[in-house]
Amino acid sequence: MTIHVDVMPAIKAESKALSFYYGGTVQALKSISLALPDRRATALIGPSGCGKTTYLRCLNRMHDLYPGNRYAGAVFLYPDGLNIVDQTIDPIEIRMRIGMVFQKPNPFPTTIYDNVAYGLRIRGSIPRSELDGIVEQSLKDAALWPEVKDRLRELAFNLSGGQQQRLCIARALATGPEMLLFDEPTSALDPTATARIEELVTDLKQRVTIVIVTHNMQQAARVSDYTAFMYEGELVECDRTEKIFTNPSNKLTEEYVTGRFG
């Protein structure tokens, strides 16, 4: 086994003292400062209700869809240093740069082709030939192409759960995001489909920054380079994944990763 020497990777995004309040009053995140390295996968782990999904949904301003939610602090997106949670920044702009894959596969009830093409279509008119190429490439990147290449005009609902989730990944990839957010992407899938998604995440992190929320600690250990452990809305520890799982600095982290609670 070769020793993997990681020269400090560049930072893709970084939250500085990020707090978040649901409905303006319930504080779900308490001053989280966390750096997300460029083209690496960072896993967010922690017991239910610790705020990991809440944190993830801050990164593409998903919380803006529901009234009363409030952010404090900042999340900088590099290289330009744009503050993601700045209320003067249009969340549409953020979501055009940062893609998301959800817990339950949520394809649109249209064809496989239209699902992948949708993100591009709303970005303006793209010539048909070019669109075809991007759809094909995205489906290849999502490791779905061989299974669907002859039935792009069929409804996405006819795919299995695991295929639907890979379709959602292709839909997110089609727009060329700088960062991809995965919110427990395998919790609704069987072990085989889960393995394929994990493999895919491992491939994709060569090209795009990945943040993945997971309940499954083995999954975090398998796919991520960095792991952040959260507890009750606070960031307890963030370090190289091996370190978190073998030699964490914090007692609470050790108890969680060894399965003593959570």
Q: Are 47 and 217 in contact (CB under 8 A)?
A: no
Question: In the bound complex, what is the minimum distance in angstroms from residue 130's beta carbon to other proteins?
Answer: 18
Q: Which is nearer to other proteins, 188 or 195 (CB)?
A: 188
Q: Which is nearer to other proteins, 51 or 119 (CB)?
A: 119
Question: In the bound complex, what is the minimum distance in angstroms from residue 87's beta carbon to other proteins?
Answer: 17
* CA-to-CA dists, residue 28 to 21, 64, 166, angstroms: 6, 15, 30
DSSP 62-75: GGGGSTT-EEEEEE
Q: Which is nearer to other proteins, 210 or 244 (CB)?
A: 210
Which residues bind to other proteins, rule: CB under 8 A?
60, 62, 65, 67, 92, 95-96, 99-100, 102, 104, 106-109, 118-119, 122-123, 155, 157, 168, 171-172, 175
In sequence order, what E strands does the chain have?
11-22, 26-37, 41-45, 70-77, 82-83, 98-101, 179-183, 209-213, 226-231, 234-240
Question: In the bound complex, what is the minimum distance in angstroms from residue 92's beta carbon to other proteins?
Answer: 6
Q: Which is nearer to other proteins, 29 or 116 (CB)?
A: 116
Token code pair at residue 79: 């290289």
Question: In the bound complex, what is the minimum distance in angstroms from residue 217's beta carbon to other proteins?
Answer: 26
DSSP 108-149: -SSBHHHHHHHHHHTT----HHHHHHHHHHHHHHTT-HHHHT
> Which residue(s) pair with 189 in the sheet?
none
Q: Which is nearer to other proteins, 97 or 243 (CB)?
A: 97
Question: In the bound complex, what is the minimum distance in angstroms from residue 146's beta carbon to other proteins?
Answer: 24
